[in-house]
Structure 1
Amino acid sequence: MKIKIYSFTIALLTISSLSFSQEVTKDSVVTENSDKYKVVTNKFFDNWFLGAGGGVQILFGDHDKQMQTKDRLTPAFNVSLGKWFTPGVGIRAGYTGNKLKGLTHNNSAISGGSLKTHSTGEIYQDVKNAGDKGYLEVQEFNYNHIHGDILFNVANIFGGYRENRFYTIAPFVGIGWAWVNDAPKTRQPSINVGLYNAFRLSSAFNLTLDLRGSLVKDDFEGEVGGRKEEGIVAGTLGLAYNFKKRNWDREKVVTISTYDETELNALRERVNKLANDNDALRKQLAESANKDITDVKIEKNILISPILVTFPINESTVSNEARVNLGFFAKAIKEGKSNVVYNISGYADKGTGSPATNERLSKARAEAIYNVLVKEFGVPASQLTTSHYGGVDNMYYNDPRLSRAVIVLGN
């Protein structure tokens, strides 16, 4: 009895090139939010700063127009403690003080008494208006000022948070309490506005330039004149120390991966069917080994299972390991039937990258496999087609790594 035996050469090639540039979990992908305006809010004891500085200040009182500006300048110093609640908004409490200088009428008295309004008794000679010469005395007094401010870091508000930014500017508004202990004594609320400028020296230290304007009532220097309010303008240069934690962390984005796609399910069914066919062929070969063979006719019919090539995130370069396996796959194609056409399908992980990026990446991956098979291993171009599907949900085992791939499947 002659028995015709169909000998099948079975190639079952599956490649897993799993290189990572990012940690993933079984069912989610964790990435850092690229939005420069979104950060994680820190704890209460984070992002505190302590500052101190010195400079000059000037009083705008009733007779400031008659006194030379250089004669009105006095030393100033300040200290402050603050906290940033976000990269754009913070608060601080501080103290500013020392002495102020101005002019007063030498015949001014308080409530009919003999006490002058902080006069030193010195007649000011260098008056701007000659008609006031001999009538104005130099006044000098110590004052104290505590204040609370709300700061708005416009560099971070409008430019987004950047940890290593060299220069930031923060306008501020606030209220305070100012007082003079020298007679005639006074205690008054104040309104404050200004600019807080910071120059980064290191993560711990900033060089600061603090410009402050304070508005108080007309009698703050002890004399009621023609003004409704009086003012103090101060500018100080100093240092600020930033307590740990000093920076802000980017928000983390967790993408939960699910999959329910008809096309991918159909692909799985085709893979399973080919695997079952291979099992049936193995069984036939085993049965034929137990029969008497009087004449053997060998026909070569190569059945090739799908091949899966995976890629690292955001890459389309074919690794050497994958090329080796593609070489085996190409050999099987060329030894098989020439009328079989194989489709090269490119995919990207939907949980990583934008839709436009994934579309480009899936196409580039498919073309990379096509070029290796045709140009490197000589597979006829007529037996290959390419397609790409952009970003897809997890195709196998709920693992996004297996979606950064190319699948080659015979039709």
Structure 2
Amino acid sequence: MKRLFISALCAAAFTGAAAQEQHSDTIQSVYDTTEKVMYDNDKYKVETNHFWDNWFVSAGFGGQIIFGNHDKQVKFLDRVAPALDIAVGKWFTPGIGVRLMYSGLSVKGATQKEGHGEFPTHSTGVDVPGKGGDGYWLMKQKFKFYNLHLDALFNMSNILYGYNEKRVYNCSPYFGLGWTRVWESPQSMEVSANVGILNSFRLNDALDLNLDIRGAYVSDRFDGELGGRWGEGIWSATIGLTYKFKPRGWDRSKTIIRTHDRTSELKAMQDKLNDMQAQLAQRKRDSITVVKTLAAANFVIFKIDTWDLTNEARVQLSLFAETIKKADPNVVYVITGYADKGTGSVERNVILSKNRARVVYECLVNEFGVPKKQLRVDHKGGVDNMFYNDPRLSRAVITRVVEENDAQ
């Protein structure tokens, strides 16, 4: 038995390392986000099981027999008694589960008569037929008991051959510990060791037909008569049904990959800057008394809840700085920080917009040599969507020429 169990585990480990196949579904969603779902076709891999998944209850009825002190003196069929099983359990993976089971009703055997050893225990008052038609030194015995045991289940069909929800037959060896109690005097309470095989036959998604073959080992005190044995065994076989609660079964393992195309976002920003440049150019053409060379407005966006400049933003600022230094040195530019009003608190958005304006100012002055006298810093806190109804474009700093009225 031990070699068989080790071999099964080795086989499961080997097959689990076998080559895998995958297929994928690609979904194009709005905002230029592409979602790719990779399904793993390896039958040994499934999605993680949640706590309330794959619970079950079962009940069965059959027969059981005790192997006690006087087995040879009582016919085998006279020792068979009814057996009842009721259990609740859960499968954690397709191959490993646990259940709590009540097993019991009664057992039948034999006990010594008074005057032939110990006082008779659980006697029915009926003699066991003996030699010469005289009555024997034994009386028939019957008593009620229950065995409450916790079992670890191993579905070897899924472990060895992979998960298959449509498989008709599953073989699940199990073992566990329990607590037995004899109700009638003399009462007995003993620890039990349980081992067996649960044979399941699929009827539909919710129901299985079960053949449960089990053995339990208990102390020699179990039947109330000490006979010099190491212990006593109870063997049973029951047939019953298992109901599997929803959600039941396991989903295939999958990986989701999402990619975001920023092309349309950058195009919208560029269009906006072009519009601003066109407006500045028109102002130049409309100016009669004053002609100034100006740097076009600059637009820098930030990631949500940060004021860190990216390398791309620094490149934009370096080009903007070159234009400022070549343009009219008397022109003043205002650096205005913004935050997305729909994200974060009012206080947080004020901090974000203020710090975003500050880091742009420090970059232009300290890194690219723009004169401080040509720069002003301002912040607006959280604002409504400024461009294209997109909150991401409000997490920004805009640097533009100070209006005449503002400059005075």
TM-score band, normalised by shorter chain? 0.5 to 0.7
Q: Shift in Å at residue 139 of structure 1?
A: 0.7
TM-score of the pair, normalised by structure 1: 0.53
Q: Shift in Å at residue 183 of structure 1?
A: 1.0
Q: Shift in Å at residue 245 of structure 1?
A: 0.8
CA RMSD of aligned residues (A): 2.6
Which of these residues, 123, 126, 134, is aligned with residue 122 of structure 1? 126
Match of 1:212 in 2: 214
Contact 1:101 1:138 in 2 (8 A): yes
SS at match of 2:25: coil
Q: Shift in Å at residue 28 of structure 1?
A: 5.7
TM-score of the pair, normalised by structure 2: 0.54
Structure 2 counterpart of 1:142, which letter?
A: K
Contact 1:109 1:117 in 2 (8 A): no
- Tell me, in whole angstroms, the C-alpha distance in 2 between the residues paired with 1:132 and 1:230: 29
Match of 1:238 in 2: 240
Q: Pairwise mapping of residues 38-117 of structure 1 onto structure 2 (< 5 A)?
A: 38-107=45-114, 115-117=119-121
Structure 1 counterpart of 2:189, which letter?
A: R
Contact 2:24 2:39 in 1 (8 A): no
Q: Shift in Å at residue 197 of structure 1?
A: 1.1
- Tell me, in whole angstroms, the C-alpha distance in 1 between the residues paired with 2:178 and 2:36: 50
Q: Shift in Å at residue 119 of structure 1?
A: 1.1
Q: Report Cα offsets for 1:138-185 as digits up to 9, x if no partner.
A: 011111111110000000011100111111010000000001121111
The answer to whether the aligner puts 1:149 opposite 2:156 as a matched pair is no
SS at match of 1:218: coil
Q: Report Cα offsets for 1:345-404 as digits up to 9, x if no partner.
A: xxxxxxxxxxxxxxxxxxxxxxxxxxxxxxxxxxxxxxxxxxxxxxxxxxxxxxxxxxxx
SS at match of 2:78: helix
CA pair 144-257 structure 1, distance change in 2 beyond 3 A: same
Q: Pairwise mapping of residues 11-410 of structure 1 onto structure 2 (< 5 A)?
A: 22-24=25-27, 29-107=36-114, 115-125=119-129, 134-254=136-256
- Tell me, in whole angstroms, the C-alpha distance in 2 between the residues paired with 1:136 and 1:188: 25
- Tell me, in whole angstroms, the C-alpha distance in 2 between the residues paired with 1:168 and 1:132: 52
Structure 2 counterpart of 1:123, which letter?
A: D
Q: Shift in Å at residue 207 of structure 1?
A: 0.5
SS at match of 2:72: helix
Structure 2 counterpart of 1:22, which letter?
A: D
Higher relative contact order (CA 8 A, sep 6+): 1
Contact 1:83 1:90 in 2 (8 A): yes
- Tell me, in whole angstroms, the C-alpha distance in 2 between the residues paired with 1:173 and 1:245: 26
Match of 1:278 in 2: none
CA pair 109-64 structure 1, distance change in 2 beyond 3 A: same
Match of 1:330 in 2: none
Contact 2:116 2:137 in 1 (8 A): no
Contact 1:218 1:229 in 2 (8 A): yes
Contact 1:172 1:196 in 2 (8 A): yes
Identity, % of aligned positions: 46
Q: Shift in Å at residue 23 of structure 1?
A: 2.6
